[in-house]
Structure 1
Amino acid sequence: MRKKKEKSRKASSAPRRTNSIVIQSFDETPNRFKSKLDPINHLELRDNFLERGQIPQFQIRASHNQRARHIDIKFDLLPEAVAVLEKVCSMFGSGDVFLKKTFGDKITVDEATDKVKGYLYENNCNNQVKICWSKDLLCSGKMCWHGPCIQANRPEARTFNLLLQNSKENMFLSEHGIICLADHEIGTHYLRMYNDGLQPWFSQRQQFGIGRLRSKKLLETEEGLATINTMLKAKHQLLWKPALLYYTACKSLEMSFQQLYDHLGTYVRDSNYRWKLVMRVKRVLDNVNDVGGYGKDQCYFTGAVQLLRNIDETDFVLLYSGRISVEELPRIRRLARMNCIKLPTFLQDVGKYKQNLWNIAVVNNLVSKDKLPSKRAKLKKINISVNIPSAKKYSKSCQPSKKTVRTFCNRIAPQSSSIMSPIPYSPHKWMLSKRPRSCPNTFEKSKEKPQPLWKC
């Protein structure tokens, strides 16, 4: 009996394939999926802080140069972030109520897996992405890819893994939230990663004048685009979470770990979520009681505001050609291979997609209603009518047949001609250049034939 139980446990941990989609579950996230900025034993440190009040001392594998890469914190968009937070508090009372009403009730892991599988089939990604559930994942979701080195330039040999947090702390593990998370991870990160492998600059970005994959501009465009795509199908399209991340980074320069944790209680009641916010900012410090923090999480709100304030000037289809920033769009316009890329379903209608972005910008007070694009008046199609002299003036011998008159009318004013036609049709130009042989001639023919000049 013991042997049978051991076999059953091993089989449950092994990956299972359902309809060409591989699904795995981990109690502990593998090291290949972890970042060097992830603290070691963060679950134990969280329990000690919440239950005993013990201030944590984080240990991370990142070097000092990697810690200082995004140490600078900006205050440019602090008024916009505070306005979003105050609007959520005035409408819902707290961020916890906002999340519940925005993403719906909680669902099980099996129900969430079925919805993610349906999303993959809908976007034709079922044979390329693996779904991995992990209990100790720091974030709600994460997209990773592995394969040969970039210089090998073999995109077909790459494997993609969608990591999802399997715990009650995952705010997107809900009825509508799982689809919003799929728009973030699959509809944005995965498709841009996949399309980037098909472009000529994939293995030689510097030779084409394109920035590095870890550049700050690319990070803002990548996460900003994913942020606004997350709110496309949400019931309330307020950018509360990215605004809170931006606000937390700004307040870290004034407060210690404990002070910042207590201060965020005005916007969030959930103690676990507040711990995660403060941990993400203070994890790079040797002593968390010092002021300062990690400003990388500001890219979510910064990139979203940049895109929402330049909707008409941004080519979103070209932006999906690869992992590129907004500033690099003019450079790659003639280089990008657009006939082989994949686009998400919500970008099939670009006009409708931009209209949704305008709604998000107005709801978050990022654009005034006066600057919204006016609805263009639809022009009515007006058929061109041409008066043709009647055939009664001519004798029966010169009178054209009905078929000739019908073809003549269609050639002058075809049925499909209208003001909306992209190539305007000029009947006068045709009449001067060509005329059917059977067309009647109103001028009398001269009886004497003209003589050549050399006989005169």
Structure 2
Amino acid sequence: MVRTDQQMTGESADHGHSGSRRTRQRNVDIVTYKLGNTPKKLARGPDSSELLAQKENFLNHGVLPNFSQLEKKKYNHTKGKGEVRFELFNLARRILETVRENFVNGEVFMNESYGPIIDKAQASRTIRGYLDADPILSTIKVAWSQDITSSAVMITRGPVYQPEKRTYTMVIKDDPTMPYLRTEGIMALAHHEVGTHFVRFYNDGLQPWNANRKSYKLRKLGNVTGLQSEEGLATLASLFAAKHKYLYKPALLYYVACMSSVMDFRELYDHIQGLEPDPDMRWRLVYRVKRSLDCDQVGGYGKDQCYLAGAVKILLNRKLINFNLLFTGKLCYDEVDKVKRIIRKDGCLKPPYFSDMSSYYKHLDTTFQLNSLAECFPGFLQCPNIRCPAVISSDYNPEPLEFLPLSKERRDKLNADHLEAEKSKQLHARQTEKSTDNVENKVNSEQKSLSVLGSKEGSKKDGSSYKAKANCEFKNEIYNIGEATPTSTMNQNTAMAFKELLHDPQNLTYMMSSRISKRLDEPILLSKRRARKSANLPTIPSMDSNSSSSKENTDKKFFERPKRSFRLRNEKPALSSAKIISVNDLRSKLDN
């Protein structure tokens, strides 16, 4: 993973020129250093040739390495930033399980998120174009080296209190297996090292607390909280260029550090094969957590947990943080309020991805939701103050992920299942669209046929005005009936009866008077008032235009409100007070 060496910020003096101001050189050529030839001021970690020999012995012959004699620097594994913590262990497990479920393994995830692998020449052109966009960034030197253990590192040398005399170099690992050597991955690397580490370090040299942080009640450089803030911002900057914004790499580093407390080197190397099938990548992950230890020992170095811890703390408090002020120096996310009144904004750099702040805030919200932080930390949503996840004791026993290494056949099967699921989803969507289109077309055709039918009947018979009036009143009701009860689901006899009722205006008049149910697949339930006269239904007179009196009698007979009937207080209503008549019975009554 990408990191910045915090200790190099304190080196001074004897490496720079004293006296006159140094002139800046732009468009510096990119330098490549072979194995063992990297200058000491740029080299990091143990002897690269010895480390490479131990790696080859382990991968080819199974010989365990011995990092305790290889590492010149002794790391403290029990205190400070080297202590292994477990506050976010369950979150890291959840992110890894989600990525494994959606992308099979980390190699597929990197291809999907950061694009295909590119060569060193194309990556150099991308980095150079990124730096030449700003006159200050163009002064940064770029070097490729095989002697560093991380993906990249930003190194600065020169006087501490004279930022204009410092020199900055971005050293990138010269290795084809470097995970960020991709089309979008190299941009993520530039956002991480230049857009975050360099910008914050350069701006910090312009601030009044640069000479004495203690007088402003600021933490020392290199402490745990400061390291988490620095690397958390850099991690979120790396995801800004990613297509899928899962915190996979930080979660993997956090998980490996936790599992190192219960596994030795070989057990841990074999355990993460299900997530990282590449042996070189697994070696790098386990080496970073087992450095300066005997490989048959249980335990690990927890510094790499700061990537996930810092990103989670910033995402949980993203609505309370002023990011423009946070990038004006090497400040922790909870220290901005202490110095916001004395911050010097003139001359400060802004990261290239801050050109559109709305897109950056949207990126933070997307990352927050995609990694299920709201479900894991529900109490942070309504918190008015900046907070951190609760601390878990160091005697916590982590439960490992339950998965076996995936073979090529299993990987191909999962990919085939994923493609088949996508095809089935697309097919289902197409069928749903076709069914909705058919229903709409059918309803439109029924509406048109009803309107044509009304016009024909009105022209044939003399009672056209009365028929048109009845058809107009019941047009919407009949349309709703057909929509609620499709012909395909209706009984055939019921459908035929319904058609005959519609053809005959006398029957249509009876439908208006008796208020029949709108669902024709159910029997018609007449009201109490109509049930008394249902046994002796009246004969409907003809609707001829000459018999105007018959029409008046029909209207009076069918639309006159019946007298109200009374019954005694203790008298129970008869069970046959309501009578159910089906459409067929109604049709037979009308025929008689």
Q: TM-score, normalised by structure 2?
A: 0.57
- In structure 1, the residue matched to 2:329 is 322
Residue of structure 1 equivalent to 2:89: 78
SS in 2 for 1:245: helix
The residue number in structure 2 matching 1:171 is 179
Separation in 2, partners of 1:43, 1:18 = 35
Greater Cα offset, 177-186 or 68-77: 68-77
Match of 1:288 in 2: 295
Pairwise CA distance, 1:191:
0.5
- Distance in 2, matches of 1:117 and 1:53, equals 41
Checking the alignment, whether the CA contact within 8 Å between 1:85 and 1:240 is kept in structure 2 is: yes
> In 2 relative to 1, CA 79–350 (structure 1 residues): closer, same or farther, beyond 3 Å?
same
Q: Is the 8 A contact 2:43 2:147 kept in 1?
A: no
| Corresponding residue number in structure 2 for 1:34 | 43
Question: What secondary structure, in the 3-state scheme, does the structure 2 residue paired with 1:326 have?
Answer: coil
Corresponding residue of 1:52: 61
Question: Could you say what secondary structure the match of 1:336 adopts?
Answer: coil
Query: Which of 207, 212, 215 is the aligned partner of 2:220?
Result: 212
Task: Write out per-residue CA displacement over residues 91-135 of structure 1, whole angstroms, 9 at most, x where no aligned residue.
Answer: 111111111121111112111111111111224434320000112
Deviation readout 1:188-209 (Å, 9 max, x if unpaired)? 0110111111111112112222
Kindly indicate whether residue 276 of structure 2 is the aligned counterpart of residue 268 of structure 1: yes
Corresponding residue of 2:136: 125
Name the stretch that deviates more: 251-260 or 361-370.
361-370
Tell me which residue corresponds to 2:158. 147
The one of 308, 323, 333 equivalent to 2:340 is 333
> For residue 96 of structure 1, what is the aligned residue in structure 2?
107
Q: 1:259 aligns with which of 242, 246, 267?
A: 267
Query: C-alpha deviations, 1:14-61, integer Å up to 9, x for none?
Result: xxx996223211113332223457777211111111011010001212
When structure 1 is superposed on structure 2, of 17-26 and 171-180 the one drifting more is 17-26
- 2:204 aligns to what? 196
Distance 1:84 1:38 in 2: 35
CA deviation string 1:71-108 (max 9, x = no partner):
32111111111111011111111111111121111112
1:236 corresponds in structure 2 to 244
Secondary structure, aligned partner of 1:171: coil
Deviation at 1:350, TM superposition (A): 2.2
Task: Rate the CA distance shift 1:18–1:342 in 2: closer, same or farther, 3 A.
Answer: closer
TM-score (norm 1): 0.74
Q: Tell me how far apart the structure 2 counterparts of residues 86 and 64 of structure 1 sit (CA, whole Å).
A: 31
Aligned length: 353
Secondary structure, counterpart of 1:54 in structure 2: coil
| Superposed displacement of residue 66, structure 1 | 8.6
SS at match of 1:160: strand
Which among 300, 309, 315 is matched to residue 307 of structure 2?
Answer: 300
In 2, distance between residues paired with 1:123 and 1:231? 22
The letter of the residue matching 2:224 is K
Shift of the 320–37 alpha-carbon distance from structure 1 to 2, 3 Å rule, reads: farther
Matches of 2:78 and 2:292, distance apart in 1: 6
Cα 1:64/1:348, change in 2 over 3 Å:
closer
Q: Which has the larger radius of gyration?
A: 2
In the aligned structure 1, how far is the partner of 2:191 from the partner of 2:112?
19
Match for 1:309 among 307, 313, 316? 316
Contact 1:284 1:293 survives alignment (8 Å): no
Partners of 1:19 and 1:325 lie apart in 2 by 32
AA in 2 matched with 1:46? K
2:231 aligned to which of 206, 212, 223: 223
1:317: how far off? 0.5
Letter in 1 for 2:355: Q
Residue in structure 1 matching 2:149, options 133, 138, 155: 138
CA offset at residue 64 of structure 1?
5.6
Matched-pair contact (CA < 8 Å) for 1:96–1:268: yes
Contact 1:249 1:293 in 2 (8 A): yes
Of Structure 1 and Structure 2, which has the larger fraction of its residues in helix? Answer: 2
Q: Which residue of 2 aligns with 1:22?
A: 29
Structure 1: which 5+ runs fail to align? 1-16, 374-456
Is the Cα contact below 8 Å between 2:228 and 2:309 reproduced in 1? yes
Deviation at 1:167, TM superposition (A): 1.2
Q: Distance in 2 between matches of 1:250 and 1:225?
A: 22
C-alpha distance in 1 between matches for 2:198 and 2:310: 18
The CA deviation at 1:211 is 1.1
| 2:123 alignment partner, one of 91, 112, 121 | 112
AA partner of residue 229 (structure 1): A
Identity %: 36
Q: Which residue of 1 aligns with 2:513?
A: none
Partner Cα separation in structure 2 for residue 338 and residue 259 of structure 1:
51
Distance 1:134 1:39, change over 3 A: closer
Letter in 2 for 1:145: T
Deviations 1:336-380 (A, max 9, x none): 11122010121133232111110011111113599999xxxxxxx
Gaps of 5+ in 2: 1-23, 383-592
Question: Which letter maps to 1:322?
Answer: G
Distance 1:68 1:50, change over 3 A: farther
**Shift in Å at residue 261 of structure 1?**
0.3
When residues 38 and 79 of structure 1 are mapped into structure 2, their CA distance, relative to the original with a 3 A threshold, is farther
> SS of the counterpart of 2:100?
helix
The answer to whether the 8 Å contact 1:362/1:368 transfers is no
